[in-house]
Amino acid sequence: MRIAIAGGGPGGLYFAALMKQLDAAHEVTVFERNAPDDTFGFGVVFSDETLGGIESADTAIYQQMAARFARWTDIDIDFNGHRFTVGGQGFAAMSRKELLHILQERAAELGVTVHYRTPAPDVDTLRASHDLVLAADGVNSRIRTKYADAFGPSLDRRRNKYIWLGTDLVFEAFQFIVKQTDWGTMQIHGYPYSAGGSTFIVEMHEDVWRRAGFDDSSEDTVPRIAEIFAGELKGHRVLTNNSRWINFTTVRNERWHDGNVVLIGDAAHTAHFSIGSGTKLAMEDALALAACLHEQRCVEAALEAYQAERKPVVESTQRAAQASLEWFENIGMYAAQEPAQFCFNLLTRSRRITFENLKERDQEFAARIEADFARSQNQAAVVPAMFQPVRIGPLELKNRVVVSPMDMYSACDGLPNDLHLVHLGSKALGGAGLVMTEMVCVSADGRITPGCTGLWTDEQRDAYRRITEFVHGRTTAKIGLQLGHSGRKGSTRLMWEGMDEPLDEGNWEVVGPSPIPYGVDAHVPREISRSEMDAVVADFVAAARRGVDAGFDLVEIHAAHGYLLSSFLSPLSNRRTDDYGGSLANRLRFPLEVFDAVRAAVPSTMPLTVRISATDWAPDGNTATDAMEIARAFVSHGAAAIDVSSGQVVKDEKPAYGRSYQTPFADLIRHEVAAAAGVKVIAVGAISSHDDVNSILLAGRADLCALGRAHLYNPQWTLQAAAEQEYRGPAAEWPKPFEAGRRKPPSSRTDKIPPRLALLRAGAGNVHVRWVPVG
């Protein structure tokens, strides 16, 4: 096989060596535009899983690397002079220049032809004369750019500035330094890579960078950094190596190969340096690709297998890295946190490390975090965070678990029935502090489907009273009423018959702020008139009053997910030219009218909350910045809590799904808007384990967590969480008939992953275990 490689960095050289090791007859040529002793950066970090793959594939390379590793097991965090050490991590790093030297020597030893100081020839020429062309030409890949139509690249330039430096101060562990300066928050990412030096990455928001007087051509950058961090450097030098200020760019590609051309490393993907190493990922790519070429019968099949196997692993890493980089972009808003909580927040920022992970690694630190949280809530008992009581306005809840609103689509003429009694009653019996109804519609024309419940008649009120009386009589849970109007998303089929699809017959006219359908095949709404808006306000008020009479403890206004109030808030569905369209202040006008009218209609002893979509997940739609203003408006009008969801405003949205993927929006709103006003924030979305809940609460990202699907799977989710954490107390009191189930059965724990499965989930080892070294 004839192979051409554009790029002589670690990924390209490692792949070249692996292919020659597999078969010495392979003709492998590397084109590297830099000199052999050129390099950028200082150190590179590897995980144990990556090192295991390198060892099994080529012991010669591994042994050379291992002889140069700096190893450590701690993370040190310096936050404004408060120092913390958290153990049990496990890292290995080495000099990037030494790694390149090892790979260059190994490639030469195996007979790889490397042309240094030589840009790769035109890729069309290479692909015509070679069986395989490897694009290992970095973030600014010319090959990826030339075949952009085939690869579908996405380049996301982030707003923080950073510069990759070194220091002759040898850190003892992975070192985070977070410092408040006269210009704002600055942070250092550092780690040792040899007995004589450490990587020293300086990062800050671009606004901070500008206020501090830095610029791209500043000649005094290094002296200024040495001055700012003089106390942390302890007299040691700051070193440069082709160092310059840059903005991190996240690279993604829809496809990683086209014909016989394939991308690896930074040409295919990048992951922020705060969680990943580009070198590590590139070498894992090389190992996976070499294995696939060894196993598959032809190049085309091998490239398909490589993408199918490697791309999901990288995307998982990128999701974690995205959460991490966004956390560091917003690091300034955590400056007021207590030092220990800040430390925990930093460690769990990517959502891959959780409270349970840390407890296993450092029990003393975990115990301090729980004790500090209890103290911050004025509670004497140190218990799992989810079981600390909480108030939403005047309403006290026994714990911080909320059963999220979930449409059952099972009513007849808006009447809740036995299914709703069992659904909501079972969740209340299951231990949650607050159980929310599905969206209860304020009028027949405000239903989503014919199966939605409502509160436009007294009969419906009485049917709901039966449910609230059960919850109050049999449990210690509270029950909340979510009120909404479907707007342009109404008159559709039951979910299991075709979600958001119009009814085959019996349709009713739908309204919206503008005559814009939710999707291509959806109803075109009629633009709602002012008089009809008044009628909708009256419907909300009447329904809220019936809710009070029915015995609900809390009312929530549904202003999310593209229903009527949400569609007023979004510029994608609201194109009005009157006082209710245009600016965000105008788009807020009608939802606030509804909110104010309901607030006036319910007793002051009953909290009124609101659910919002924090982003539309679509171009030109609402963003997190808009969500802060929306939340701020509702808070100023008396909202006791902001329930932070996202999306479902337009059909062609592109959510960034992942573990607790909506929590960063709750975090932002809590810190920037709600906390100072004493307003609670509820996080929702892909939260599934008690570990997720405790981690979110302990880090201060939300005050409560709402779970939906987890409660459908297990109505006793909260009681099981109590048993698994060996908690016995009033916050998870078992109903007397259920007492026999309190004892935790053997091996009942569900949020533990067997070690091997954990390895596969992390994306490590799945290729490596199949590797058969040759020679």
Query: pLDDT digits over 635-672, tens only?
Result: 999 999 999 999 999 999 999 998 899 999 999 999 99
Residue 486 pLDDT more than 60?
yes
User: Tokens in use for 79?
Assistant: 């936050």
∠ CA 282-287-291, nearest 5°, is 145
Marked catalytic residue, from 563, 580, 657, 713: 563
pLDDT of residue 767: 28
Distance, CA of 657 to CA of 320 (rounded, Å): 11
Query: What's the number of CA atoms in the CB half-sphere (13 Å) around residue 601?
Result: 21
Residue 41 pLDDT more than 90?
no
Question: How far, in whole angstroms, is CA 240 from its chain's centroid?
Answer: 33
Least confident residue range of 15-19, 43-47, 481-485, 610-614: 43-47
Read off the pTM.
0.90
Residue whose tokens read 């799904």: 657
pLDDT of residue 510: 97
pLDDT of residue 742: 77
pLDDT tens by residue, 447-461: 999 999 999 999 999
pLDDT of residue 72: 86
pLDDT of residue 218: 67
pLDDT of residue 188: 97
Distance, CA of 125 to CA of 114 (rounded, Å): 18
Residues 6 or more apart whose Cβ sits within 8 Å of residue 220: none
User: What H or E segment, with its residue span, contains residue 527?
Assistant: strand 526-527
Which pLDDT band holds residue 715 (cuts at 50, 70, 90)? very high
Which pLDDT band holds residue 133 (cuts at 50, 70, 90)? very high
DSSP string, 641-703: EEEEE---SSTT------TTTTHHHHHHHIIIIIGGGT-EEEEESS--SHHHHHHHHHTTS-S
pLDDT tens by residue, 207-217: 999 999 998 87
Distance, CA of 307 to CA of 290 (rounded, Å): 12
Q: Identify the burial level of 428 via C-beta atoms within 10 angstroms of its C-beta, where 0-12 means exposed, 13-18 middle and 19 or more buried.
A: buried
What integer is the mean pLDDT of 405-418? 97
What integer is the mean pLDDT of 576-580? 97
Distance, CA of 137 to CA of 696 (rounded, Å): 39
- Is residue 661 annotated as a catalytic residue, yes or no? no
Least confident residue range of 22-31, 301-310, 329-338, 762-771: 762-771
Residue 261 pLDDT more than 80?
yes
pLDDT of residue 50: 81
Contact 33, 124 (CB under 8 A): no
pLDDT of residue 396: 98
Q: CB pairs under 8 A, 24+ apart, for 447-450?
A: 447/414, 447/486, 447/490, 447/491, 448/407, 448/409, 448/486, 448/489, 448/490, 448/492, 448/563, 449/407, 449/409, 449/492, 449/493, 449/494, 449/495, 450/494, 450/503, 450/506
Contact 454, 462 (CB under 8 A): no
Distance, CA of 279 to CA of 46 (rounded, Å): 8
Task: State the virtual CA torsion across 562, 565, 569, 575 in degrees, nearest 10.
Answer: 80
User: Tokens in use for 581?
Assistant: 């369209």
pLDDT tens by residue, 664-699: 999 999 999 999 999 999 999 999 999 999 999 999
| Closest CA relative to residue 135, chosen from 34, 39, 24, 269 | 269
Residue 95 phi/psi, 5-degree rounding, is -65, 130
Which pLDDT band holds residue 739 (cuts at 50, 70, 90)? confident
Residue 76 or 754, more confident: 76
DSSP 738: G
pLDDT tens by residue, 500-545: 999 999 999 999 999 999 998 899 999 999 999 999 999 999 999 9
Distance, CA of 604 to CA of 451 (rounded, Å): 32
Which pLDDT band holds residue 738 (cuts at 50, 70, 90)? confident
pLDDT of residue 517: 97
Percent of the chain whose predicted confidence (pLDDT) is above 90: 86
Residue 762 pLDDT more than 60?
no
Residue 316 pLDDT more than 50?
yes
Residue 745 pLDDT more than 70?
no
Residue 5 pLDDT more than 80?
yes
pLDDT of residue 153: 97
Distance, CA of 637 to CA of 186 (rounded, Å): 36
Quote the crossing angle between the two packed helices 584-601 and 624-636, to the nearest 10°.
Answer: 40
User: Tokens in use for 242?
Assistant: 């082709």
Contact 501, 493 (CB under 8 A): yes
Contact 539, 443 (CB under 8 A): yes
Residues 6 or more apart whose Cβ sits within 8 Å of residue 585: none
Q: Identify the burial level of 735 via C-beta atoms within 10 angstroms of its C-beta, where 0-12 means exposed, 13-18 middle and 19 or more buried.
A: middle
Distance, CA of 570 to CA of 621 (rounded, Å): 6
What integer is the mean pLDDT of 223-228? 95
pLDDT tens by residue, 329-349: 999 999 999 999 999 999 999
- Average pLDDT taken over every residue of the chain: 92
DSSP string, 96-143: HHHHHHHHHHHHHHHT-EEETT-PPPPHHHHHHH-SEEEE---TT-HH
Residue 380 pLDDT more than 90?
yes
